[in-house]
Every structure is written in structure tokens, then in C-alpha cells.
Amino acid sequence: MTAAPHLDAVIIGAGFSGLYQLHCLRDRLGLSALVLEAGDGVGGTWYWNRYPGARCDSESHSYCYTFSKELLEEWEWTERYPEQPEIMRYLNHVADRFDLKRDIRFGTRVTAARFDEAANRWTVETEAGERLTATYLITAVGCLSSANVPRIPGIESFAGEWYHTGQWPHGGVDFTGKRVGQIGTGSTGIQAVPVIARQAKHLTVFQRTANYSIPAHNAPLTPEFKRWVKENHPEVRRVMHSTPNGHPFVIEDRSAHDVGADEREAIYEAAWAKGGLQFRAAFRDLLVDKSANDTAAEFLKRKIREIVKDPKTAALLSDIDHPFATKRPPIDSNYFDAYNRDNVALVDVRANPIERITPSGVVLRDGTEHALDVIVFATGFDAMTGPLLNIDITGRDGASLRGAWKAGPRTYLGLQMPGFPNLFTVTGPGSPSVLSNMPVAIEQHVEWITDCIAHLRAEGVTRIEPTEEAAERWVEHVNAAANATLLPLAGHSWYLGANVPGKPRVFMPYAGGMARYRQICNDVAAKGYEGFRLEG
């Protein structure tokens, strides 16, 4: 038997994280590194999420790498929020510009990884049965890449077509003349509704939880703005690095209670007119003080009732049961307006849940049947832990990650787990990841991991792994950071794993803010990788 090919590093995933990690390890440290990617191209989440209306909620000038001045200066975004095809063009440009594709193996799904203690290396296994070994294993698998298709009885009997938004066909779906049912009204569903409504004969939206949404006010970027960004990218980066969420705007240093009702209303109106995730930044206490949050929530519910003409539909859409932004706040392009169309209907599946799917459509608990030709599942993901646990990872002493995380994820800084030496997770649970502008979180992680590996090699360290105590303290800190906010009040959010039946209820991302987190990681490294055990 021939020995498995050995590399310094195997990276799983060719999205934003995997591409930059490859560039850093191969081109900066001179290591042999290979990316294994299940898809047939780069892009990660953007490779799979090709659903109608797919567009990033971060503004384009902030949704990109900042590590290369040349890249920043040569790339030009066209719209305020980049659409999925434009992000794919960008990531392909990056991959080509840095000659990354020659070290990416596409169409290669990793199924298992096992740490070999004697050889001090990881053996990685692919779906095709191939084996590779590597000194370092880096998962760049994304937080939202494991599709959650609810197990609704009868789904296999459906005579029409059904699709999950996160596994969308590359050729697109033609809804012309079709009766479409969409399940789910999260960020994805809210983007898809207006676009599907324009094409389908009829669209029925099945809503379980009503959601806030802020208008995106997407538009082409003006030449002046493009020039401003090129001239000011160091300042844009500085702001992104200084804020809790990694976006290019600062949170106003005022409480919602510092101003009178009229002034507050004017501030919200201005934020609504501006649009986007920045609405959250109108006051500093929206995510920590329930009564402050109520003022934003009431404003946004009123907006829904003003836009949607049918009072019953408006009441259902504005009957929101959680504080504003405690679930990831969607932004939209004419979502609520879509309900004023004759071919769009809203169905409340909180009061009257979906009971089964038949060959001809969806049946609710009270027996009502909705006849459909196509079902769109905008039902989200087994977030953060799902993509990692889909791989059968075995660490030291034969311990599996699935076993270690039975009661929820346990990491140190979201970067490593005790018992799994030399395994690094990019934007893993316990890191700010999904609570921040992702490229900012990704660059910080990739650079920290790269510096760490450089340190290990310089010092002749063969193994790094966090101590149990460090992971324990970090999990406590992640919980405390979440509990200091209103975020846990949305009891059904995917941040808590509540959207997947049987998943442990643990608040997964780190809510202490990206800027603070960056400082913690820097301090850990400066103190000789405090909390990690370095051997060899």
C-alpha cells in the first residue's frame, strides 16, 4: 500500500476563509497546503446559495478582503449590496489573482479526519475514499453551510419540485406559471419573496415566526462613492476593526432614552431612510436594554402596518414575538410591499402548523390544503456546529468531536478544541463569526492561525491544543457575553441551535464584540499562547 500524500496543511473549504488561509500558509509561510472543496468552484456559501434575490446584507465596500492594497484598489463593486453572482466573480478574481486554484481540489468532500498520535498528524478521508495526511488541519467550512430541510412527513411523495435555498440548482428555477409555496421568513426568505412573486403565478408564504426587516435601499454605487472608498480604504478598515460587529459604521454613543419621543422618531425615520444593518446603530443600548429595544421594535412594527394594505396580513407580519435584532435582522428589497400583490398570500403556520406534504401540496393541521407546483425551503441551516459535525472528526485518545460536543460546542476562542491537537477552526462556535461582518472575522482568524503556525514552526513545537480549563473558562465567558445582551431572548433563534430539533440549546457565537475579541486573541498570543498546551 502506498503512503497517503503528506502536506503541511489541509484546509477544508474554498470560501472566503479557505482561500485566504491557503494564500497565507502557502505564499507567506511557504508551507505545502491543499484546499479540499466539495463544490466544483470557489465561493463557499455563495457557491451554494444561488436562490432568487441572494444578495449580501453587508455593504459591498466592507464585504471583501482588506489584506491586499492592490486588490482593494483594482476591484470595483457595482452596487451598495453585492449580488451573489458579483461575489462569485470577486472570489474567482481573488483565486486567480493569487493563483490559488492550483492548490484547491474541487468536487472533493471530506468525510472524516483522525488524529494519529504516534505520527502527530491528521489523516483526512474524502468521500471518494482518498486519504491525505497533514500536520495541521484547518476547517474553513463556514457557519451556514449545512442545509436544514425540516422532516415534514410526506415530502418524498410531493409530485412537484422542491428546493432548499442553500442548495439551489445552478441553472436557476423557472417559476413562470407555477404555484409556489415558500416555507421560512428569515433573511433568506425575505430576500426571495419579492423576486419569486414577480415571476410565479402565485406565491404562498408559510410564516412560523414574523420578522423585522429594514429596507436595504440597494442602488448602483456612484462614481464619487467608488472614488471615496478607494481613497479611504485604510480609514474604512480602521472603523471596521474598531466596532463590535465589524461593519463600516460606528454605533451612536447615545441611549434611546437620552432623547425625547419626537427626536427618537426622527432618528429612526432617518435610519429607515438610510436603510441597512446600520439601523441597529441608531442607539447604543438597543441590544442591551429591553425598554430601549421596544422603541425600535414599535417603530418597525408600525412601518410594516403602514406598508401592508390588507389589515389581517399586516397584523400577522407585525406580530413579532422577539426583541428587534435578537434574531439576525434581515434587510430587504420590497419584502413587505410584495404582500400587496394579488398573487401573494401569507399563511400563519405558528397557529396552524404544517402537518404533512402530499403529492399535490401542503396540508395544515386544520386540514386546509395548499395546492403547489414548487416548494421552496428557506428554512435555514444547522448553523455553526452542523458543518463541523458532518465530518467524522476523531482527536486524541479516540475521542470524537460528536461526542465532545454532545451537550453543545466547547472551544477555546472558537479556534481550537481540547483533545484535537493542531486542528484549527475558522469562525467556529465561540467566536464572533456570524454576529459580525464575516470577512472581518475571517481575516482576523486566518491571520491569527497563520501567526500561530509560524510561531510553532519557529519554536519547534509539534502540537498545540487548548487546556480543558481554558476551554471551560471560554465557554463560561461566551455564555456571560450572550447573557449581557438581549440576544438569548429570541428563544427560537439559530444562534441558540433552536431551529434544529434535538440540537443542544447553547448560544454559539461570541457576543462580546469583534474588537474586544481581537484584543483577547492578540493578548493570548502575546502571552506565549496562554491557555494552550504547546508540546515538542
Q: Which of residues 195-214 bind ligand N01 (CB under 6 A)?
A: 206, 208-209
CA angle, 295 then 298 then 303, to 5° = 130
Q: Which of residues 79-118 bind ligand N01 (CB under 6 A)?
A: none
Determine if 419 is a binding residue for ligand N01 (CB under 6 A).
no
Coil, helix or strand for 322?
Answer: coil
Residue number with CB closer to ligand N01 (60 or 499): 499
CB of 459 to ligand N01, least distance (A): 38
The secondary structure of 191-221 as a DSSP string is HHHHHHHHHBSEEEEEESS----EE----BP
Build a one-symbol-per-residue string for 332-371: x at contacts with ligand N01 by CB under 6 A, - elsewhere: -----------------x----x-----------------
- Residues 73, 97 contacting (CB under 8 angstroms): no
User: Which of 184-192, 337-345, 413-421, 466-474 is the region at the interface with ligand N01 (rule: CB under 6 A)?
Assistant: 184-192
| Rg of the Cα atoms in the chain | 23
Which one of 189, 194, 361, 497 is in contact with ligand N01 (CB under 6 A)?
Answer: 189
Residue number with CB closer to ligand N01 (62 or 499): 499
Angstrom distance (rounded) from CA 410 to CA 471 = 6
User: Which of 22-30, 177-185, 362-370, 464-472 is the region at the interface with ligand N01 (rule: CB under 6 A)?
Assistant: 177-185
**Residues in the chain, total:** 536
Q: Which of residues 514-533 bind ligand N01 (CB under 6 A)?
A: none
Count, residues near ligand N01 per rule CB under 6 A: 25
Determine if 182 is a binding residue for ligand N01 (CB under 6 A).
no
Angstrom distance (rounded) from CA 153 to CA 464 = 46
Look at the block and give the residue holding cell 463569526: 433
Look at the block and give the residue holding cell 463557499: 44
Which one of 69, 312, 406, 492 is in contact with ligand N01 (CB under 6 A)?
Answer: 492
Residue number with CB closer to ligand N01 (229 or 378): 378
Residue number with CB closer to ligand N01 (47 or 381): 381
Q: Strands, DSSP E only, in 13-80?
A: 33-36
Residue number with CB closer to ligand N01 (318 or 379): 379
Look at residues 184, 446, 489 and name the one whose alpha carbon lies nearest to residue 438. 446
User: Which of 156-164, 179-187, 385-393, 412-420 is the region at the interface with ligand N01 (rule: CB under 6 A)?
Assistant: 179-187
Build a one-symbol-per-residue string for 374-403: x at contacts with ligand N01 by CB under 6 A, - elsewhere: ----xxxx----------------------
Look at the block and give the residue holding cell 445552478: 170
Q: Which of residues 270-289 bind ligand N01 (CB under 6 A)?
A: none
Build a one-symbol-per-residue string for 146-175: x at contacts with ligand N01 by CB under 6 A, - elsewhere: ----x-------------------------
Build a one-symbol-per-residue string for 315-334: x at contacts with ligand N01 by CB under 6 A, - elsewhere: -------------x------
Determine if 510 is a binding residue for ligand N01 (CB under 6 A).
no
Which one of 12, 21, 38, 57 is in contact with ligand N01 (CB under 6 A)?
Answer: 57
Determine if 442 is a binding residue for ligand N01 (CB under 6 A).
no
CB of 385 to ligand N01, least distance (A): 14
Coil, helix or strand for 423?
Answer: strand
Which one of 184, 275, 439, 509 is in contact with ligand N01 (CB under 6 A)?
Answer: 184
360-377 burial: b if 16+ Cβ within 10 Å, else e: bbbbbeeeeebebbbbbb
Look at residues 204, 249, 319, 309 and name the one whose alpha carbon lies nearest to residue 62. 249
At position 347, the amino acid (one-letter code) is V
Determine if 14 is a binding residue for ligand N01 (CB under 6 A).
no
Phi-psi region of 235 (alpha: psi -120 to 50; beta: other; left: phi over 0): alpha
Residue number with CB closer to ligand N01 (279 or 412): 279
Look at residues 106, 75, 115 and name the one whose alpha carbon lies nearest to residue 391. 115
Determine if 17 is a binding residue for ligand N01 (CB under 6 A).
no
- Residues 387, 141 contacting (CB under 8 angstroms): yes
SS3 labels along 174-189: CCECCEEEEECCCHHH
Which one of 140, 183, 256, 426 is in contact with ligand N01 (CB under 6 A)?
Answer: 183
What are the angstrom distances between the C-alpha of 116 and each of 36, 285, 368? 20, 49, 56
Instruction: Name the burial class of residue 393, with classes exposed (0-12), middle (13-18) and buried (19+) by CB atoms within 10 angstroms of its CB.
Output: buried
Residues that bind ligand N01 (CB under 6 A): 56-57, 144, 150, 183-189, 206, 208-209, 328, 349, 354, 378-381, 434, 492, 494, 499
